[in-house]
Chains A and B, each alone.
Chain A
Amino acid sequence: MNKLALSDEILMSVDKPARYIGNEINIVRKNPRDMAIRFAMCFPDVYEIGMSHLGIQILYDMFNQREDVYCERVYSPWVDLHKIMKEQNIPLFTLETQSPVKDMDFLGITIQYEMCYTNILQVLDLSQIPLLAKMRTEDDPIVIGGGPCTYNPEPLADFFDIFYIGEGETQYDALFDLYKSVRAKGGTRCEFLRAVSQLPGIYVPSLYEISYKSDGTIEAFQPRYEDVPPTIRKEIQMDLTDTVYPRKPLVPYIKVTQDRVVLEIQRGCIRGCRFCQAGMIYRPTRERDVDMLKECAREMLESSGHEEISLSSLSSSDYSRLPELINYLIGFKEKGVNISLPSLRIDAFSLDVMSKVQDIRKSSLTFAPEAGSQRLRNVINKGLAESVILEGAGLAFEGGWQKVKLYFMLGLPTETENDMQEIPRLADKIARRYYEIPKEKRNGKCQITISTSFFVPKPFTPFQWASMQTKEEYLRRARIVNEEMKEQLNRKSLKYNWHEADVTVLEGVFARGDRRVGQVLLSAYEKGCIFDSWSEFFDNSKWMDAFQECGVSIDFYNLRERDLDEILPWDFIDCGVSKSFLKREWKNAMEGKVTPNCKMQCNGCGAAQFEGGVCLEHQN
């Protein structure tokens, strides 16, 4: 048994010591001495969040299938342990062998959301690795970033040696082989970085130079050397059936967010909602074969002992073999396995399935109209008509449901007061539909919960040029919704939740920021910002001080509608969807024109270049 990196005294004094001991079921054990490459894979948030992430499990499984690689895991130590490690100068360690991260060849960090950026600095800091890539020496691991936020890696450019752009299944083998051959020749860190920049999907930020115009926008973005590619095309795993998928998922001891088997049924989304980054960057939509999924489900349930399985994808209702798959999974109910359903389009099929796997009285229906009025739903290309919502809700109410959750965004481009007021009005119409049911047949009051979030424009969406609002304006919009709520006939059946807007403003800056916002991150971390996605630790005043001290203007990044010709910080990445398509969609949005989904018609977004998925099905 391994000796732990932390003493009994420390482990007994921190919350949930099981976060730090490893030893989980299905953990991979290897002798580190026999390994050519040691890789620390990090999710920069607390263990319970990080252990719930499927991408890391896929890569953990894939890397460890190689005999020359040992991939171990590392998560952000919680604030209590963070303090102890800083005080006692204890280096951050991997869970598997409890070895210092700084002794690894690579530190891979998945970057899933903007508000984890300070935690990335925490992981580097506790690992005793220089925060700035340019300060690292031959003794430090190569720090590599992946995940959705790398579609605009620029705010993090100073802290990473490499970004892997796109899906992880494809290039790591080549990357590891290259690393081994460079090391075998006694090559340096610098030489490796230069060589790896030639691999598809690999972006080495230190090899590019950016110049700015006097108005602060980018003048030029170019490689420093001729052999370094000027654009990086995203990597994509076209065949999602004949590929790696972890059959023996790690089973944690403490309850984690996804305490269940997760089955990714497809990647990508045919819908083309104009605010949604995932809907663009994962194009084209590719399904996994239903027989492969059945086999994975069975093997994973057997090897983990989990009592629940959930399906993961965007817009799961669009998966062509969904009824067959769900009916197969319902078969595990006799073994005490629950199915946690994704949010499905409400129709006779989904209601039937839901009634089989959930307690109708406790469960709720979920709709995400995203905008209150049909006008604005056309702008965002969310093809969910009011009649469809009312029919679905009606069907569900007749079937015994009485709880509905509605999700909206405030601050979408072109939004008017009327659009905001339409949110509670739509909720009220749903409630009215409930009270159309004769009193003796219904089960007391209905409960309609409205949640709004504030819209943050993301790179590689048709809204990437859009302006955001100030914090005050966001909150004013939430108040308009709240006032209109009170005017509704069924206001006693409605409930409205909204969030603070401080985090939205920061997300806006880091989603579309350039290299110059990196210094703000550094300054904020030095002021003690950490776990910013946890409201109990988020400290907006520290952030505002950091922006002030660095002389970085939030308004420049958030309150400006970008010119269509402006060089955007992420323009050097080719995500498969062309800029001309995004421009066309931005124009359609302004005209309120709806674009059909990929199964109805090809709209020429550019993803057909990958020659697969829905793009080929469409031709048949």
Chain B
Amino acid sequence: MNIRIKFQKYGVMKFIGHLDMMRYFQKAIRRADIDIAYSEGYSPHQIMSFAAPLGVGVTSDGEYLDIEVKSSKSSKESMQALNETMAEGISILEYRKLPDTAKTSMSLVAAADYLVYQKPGYALLADTYAQLQAKVEAFYEGQPQIMITKQTKKREIEMNLKPLIYEMKSLNMGCGQALEGLGVRNPQILADCREGETSEMPALFLKLCTGSADNVKPELVLEAFCRFHGICYEALGFQIHRLEVYARSEEVPVKGEYERQAYLDSLERQREIYRQKGIDFPQFLALGELGKDI
């Protein structure tokens, strides 16, 4: 049975890197007595994969890992068992069963949403939300191409960021509504913005292309944005927070001919509902939406 787990990461846990998070979950899953499946051989390992690595220093409300289990309790019981053994700074948000032929979240990842806000003690990108919005428009809508040089292991490459930035806008974190609208439920951020409640807290929202083929890190966009506006880019001045990770709705998330057809049929029914309501069918689906509570 395949399970997709969604979790959030905040506080001091942002300093734990991706490989250590994998080790953390391997041990947490034993502590919670989840009946996970193991590979064969002398040193069997848990069958587990993560959707998209999160950089050190980045917090998140939308991390995913997939596991294979031999049996499972209900979503509610399993989440409770896991949450009882979580370190402060990691909480399990979802525990959902996937179809048996589900593709891994890693192979499906297509986009991710980020919230970027500034840490105290650094020069602000803009004083107000409206000023920041104007800067975003000049940078994003105003430029036909956003060219950057990306340093790879072997060489420098020129690339156009614009088609990989699906959305970019300014918002005011000082106003609770903005965060609610984004579904932010991260204790750290809620605390950070409560501190700034009295004044405006201009912040950026980014929806970026993510995955194994093309991948844009938010730092790359921030650096380009700062350069465009002649602002000195200080990487440590930004707190980057991942909100959600998505698959493309048109990408079939299952293997096998029968399952494939079943997915396409249900997708068509969904589209029909949206058409009747007169709204656009979403281009992306959160990875968690592909599973069901058990």
Residue in contact with A253 in the complex, picked from B16, B43, B46, B119, CB distance below 8 Å: B16
Q: In the complex where A336-B44, A336-B46 touch, is A12 in contact with B27 (Cβ < 8 A)?
A: no
For residue A600, which residues in chain B have a CB less than 8 angstroms away from its CB?
A: none
Q: How large is the interface on A (under 10, 10 to 19, 20 to 34, 35 or more residues)?
A: 20 to 34
For residue B33, which residues in chain A have a CB less than 8 angstroms away from its CB?
A: 302
Q: A9-B236, A253-B20 are in contact. List 8 more A-B contacts (CB 8 A).
A: A23-B11, A25-B31, A25-B87, A253-B24, A255-B20, A302-B30, A335-B30, A336-B44
Smallest Cβ distance from A20 to chain B, in angstroms? 8
Say yes or no: is B28 at the interface (Cβ < 8 Å to chain A).
yes
For residue A21, which residues in chain B have a CB less than 8 angstroms away from its CB?
A: 12, 15
Say yes or no: is B100 at the interface (Cβ < 8 Å to chain A).
no
Closest to A302 in B: B31
Taking Cβ atoms with an 8 Å cutoff, the residues of B that contact A are: 11-13, 15-17, 20, 23-24, 26-31, 33, 38, 42-46, 56-57, 85, 87-89, 119, 236
- Residue pair B87, A12 in contact (C-beta under 8 Å): no
In Å, the complex CA distance between A128 and B132 comes to 45
In Å, the complex CA distance between A344 and B271 comes to 67
- Residue pair A12, B12 in contact (C-beta under 8 Å): no
For residue A254, which residues in chain B have a CB less than 8 angstroms away from its CB?
A: 20
For residue A135, which residues in chain B have a CB less than 8 angstroms away from its CB?
A: none
For residue A17, which residues in chain B have a CB less than 8 angstroms away from its CB?
A: 15, 56
B-contacting residues, A293-312, CB 8 Å? 301-307
Residue in contact with B119 in the complex, picked from A8, A255, A307, CB distance below 8 Å: A8
B-contacting residues, A356-414, CB 8 Å? 358-359
In Å, the complex CA distance between A255 and B23 comes to 8
B-contacting residues, A411-444, CB 8 Å? none
Q: In the complex where A1-B88, A25-B85 touch, is A18 in contact with B31 (Cβ < 8 A)?
A: no
- Residue pair A305, B30 in contact (C-beta under 8 Å): yes
For residue B46, which residues in chain A have a CB less than 8 angstroms away from its CB?
A: 336
In Å, the complex CA distance between A192 and B79 comes to 51
In Å, the complex CA distance between A12 and B55 comes to 11
- Residue pair B28, A305 in contact (C-beta under 8 Å): yes
- Residue pair B30, A307 in contact (C-beta under 8 Å): yes
In Å, the complex CA distance between A83 and B236 comes to 20
Contact with B along A270-314 (1 / 0, CB 8 A): 000000000000000000000000000000011111110000000
Residue in contact with A12 in the complex, picked from B13, B44, B57, CB distance below 8 Å: B57
Say yes or no: is A4 at the interface (Cβ < 8 Å to chain B).
yes
- Residue pair A8, B27 in contact (C-beta under 8 Å): no
- Residue pair B11, A1 in contact (C-beta under 8 Å): yes
For residue B16, which residues in chain A have a CB less than 8 angstroms away from its CB?
A: 18, 253
Residue in contact with B43 in the complex, picked from A8, A9, A302, A338, CB distance below 8 Å: A338
For residue A8, which residues in chain B have a CB less than 8 angstroms away from its CB?
A: 57, 119, 236
Say yes or no: is A2 at the interface (Cβ < 8 Å to chain B).
yes
Q: 8 closest Cβ contacts across the A-B interface?
A: A305-B27, A305-B30, A305-B31, A17-B15, A359-B42, A21-B12, A1-B11, A253-B20
Closest to A358 in B: B42
Q: In the complex where A12-B57, A254-B20 touch, is A25 in contact with B236 (Cβ < 8 A)?
A: no
- Residue pair B27, A304 in contact (C-beta under 8 Å): yes
In Å, the complex CA distance between A66 and B31 comes to 26
In Å, the complex CA distance between A21 and B38 comes to 31
Q: In the complex where A303-B31, A305-B29, A336-B44 touch, is A253 in contact with B88 (Cβ < 8 A)?
A: no
Closest to A334 in B: B38
Smallest Cβ distance from B220 to chain A, in angstroms? 17
- Residue pair A23, B88 in contact (C-beta under 8 Å): yes
In Å, the complex CA distance between A255 and B31 comes to 18
In Å, the complex CA distance between A301 and B45 comes to 16
- Residue pair A23, B30 in contact (C-beta under 8 Å): no
Interface centre among B17, B31, B33 (most CB of A within 10 A): B31
- Residue pair A23, B89 in contact (C-beta under 8 Å): yes
- Residue pair A4, B12 in contact (C-beta under 8 Å): yes
